[in-house]
Amino acid sequence: MKKQLFFYLLFINIVSAQNKEAINKLLDNWHKAAAEANFDNYFNMMHKESIYIGTDATENWTKPQFIAFAKPYFDKGKAWKFTVLKRNIYLSKDGKTIWFDELLNTQMKICRGSGVLIKEKKEWKIKHYVLSMTIPNDNTNEVVKTKASIEDALINELKK
């Protein structure tokens, strides 16, 4: 019994490690595709029903909406370059869902990406991605002052 349990746990750890390796590769390639303005590779890694949430409060896009926003950048041959500083990956017990968070080096300095991937026909796809700018706690008041007038108007609009 102990031997069976040992091999079962070993198998689970191997599968988990393989999934994490595959996800790291997928996400690294996804960011690379953006840096190289490779439109097809970038958007093929996203699920057909994916959501992309950008750093601006108004950026909550379905895949077609995100494509419409991003295509002009890709067409110019320059999208964005994000390189991973740190990434955490978590796998559901059934092995069908992965969620992650990552710190990224970007043109906006450090940003945080987080998301969910699902397995569809033995292939992982990005289902949900959120990009956030990080703000050092000591600078929060300064940043709030900078964005207050813009976001106060948006808050009023969203309350209606």
Contacts of 42 (CB under 8 A, 6+ apart): 30, 33, 34, 70, 74, 79
The pLDDT score that the predictor gives to residue 13 is 53
- Whole-model pTM over 0.75: yes
Across the chain, which has 160 residues, the per-10-residue mean pLDDT values are: 52 64 96 98 98 97 98 96 97 92 98 96 95 97 96 96
Torsion sign, CA atoms 30, 34, 40, 41: negative
- What pLDDT score does 67 carry? 98
pLDDT at residue 63 in the model? 98
Which DSSP helix (H) or strand (E) runs through 92? none
What structural domains and CATH numbers belong to the chain? 2-136 (3.10.450.50)
Instruction: State residue 125's pLDDT score.
Output: 97
